[in-house]
Amino acid sequence: MNIDTFKMIIAIAQSGSISGAADQLGYAQSNISARVHQLEADLETSLFYRTNRGVILTDDGTKFYKKAVEIVNLTEDTINQLQHPKVIEGDLKIGTLQAASATYLPPILTQYHQAFPKVRLTIETGNPTDNIDHVLDYELNGAVIGENIENPALNFIPLTKEKLCIVSVTPKLPDLKTAPFLVFQTGCVYRDVVDDWLKSQGLVIHEAIEFNYLDAVMASACAGLGIAIVPEKIADSFVKNHLLYKTELPAEFSEIQLRFIYRKDYLINKPFEEFINILKR
């Protein structure tokens, strides 16, 4: 068993198939299948369930995968430090809220990239719940979230507070009892704010129109499809161009605290260490 074995298991787990890992690693599919069968025989356990749609990690496979991620990260960081003691390079994978990717993160990423141009950056936007799971599963180094979660496996770094507002295509808000709301899926902090704000007034969302992308929310708000609660920094450019009007939220619903999360047991390599340093500064 060597480092390539661990990389192979990681590639299979993340792609969800033997063929996907073969394409990613440049190996023949039959070669990878044979190596997996041999590894499972050596370990006397099954690492994957085989299905018609690909493969899924077994419980033992999940344990092996998590350790494989740690071993590969530590090995590559050690090699990098020995070969290039003054050059920081490697991979950095960060998850984030869509709004934070457009407002908070760009200057931080620019500063980081200018300081460490050899680090390969990957930024994943998406459902915060998914990003939290990806951090817990060692698939992301860390993630920017707005949720106030408690998990003993995670470290939290407080970041900035993000101010929110209501946007609508008319200066006066429509009747909240019947107005369509443009929202993200359940589990997103912006959706939680909508629900909590309406609940404080004895209301619930009458008609929820769900989106995966912030750009789609803004475009649909401009078209008059409904109203939405979004970061004020995002709304301001639309208001300035007379495409939308904004209305302030009550103080108790007007801000969310952005946080950066990462696993406590994560083996922090130099690229990630320097990113955390920039966040703390």
Tokens of 87: 């050059």
The pLDDT score that the predictor gives to residue 11 is: 92
279 to 22, 167, 231, 274: CA distances (angstroms): 36, 30, 20, 9
The pLDDT score that the predictor gives to residue 105 is: 92
Q: How far apart are CA 242 and CA 101, in angstroms?
A: 24
The pLDDT score that the predictor gives to residue 76 is: 82
Who contacts 214 (Cβ-Cβ below 8 Å, separation ≥6)? 98, 99, 102, 230, 234
118 φ/ψ angles, rounded to the nearest 5 degrees? -85, -5
Domains annotated for the chain, with CATH where assigned, are 1-82 (1.10.10.10), 88-159+255-278 (3.40.190.10), 161-254 (3.40.190.10)
pTM over 0.75: no
The pLDDT score that the predictor gives to residue 185 is: 84
The pLDDT score that the predictor gives to residue 82 is: 81
A 10 A CB-CB count for 256 gives: 23
Spell out the per-residue pLDDT of the chain, length 281, in tens: 789 999 999 999 988 999 999 998 898 999 999 999 999 999 999 999 998 888 999 999 999 999 998 898 888 878 877 877 677 888 999 999 888 888 899 999 999 999 999 999 999 987 788 899 999 988 899 999 988 888 999 999 999 999 999 999 999 999 999 999 999 888 788 899 999 999 999 999 999 999 988 999 999 999 999 999 999 999 999 999 999 999 999 999 999 999 999 998 877 888 999 999 999 88
The pLDDT score that the predictor gives to residue 209 is: 96
The pLDDT score that the predictor gives to residue 127 is: 79
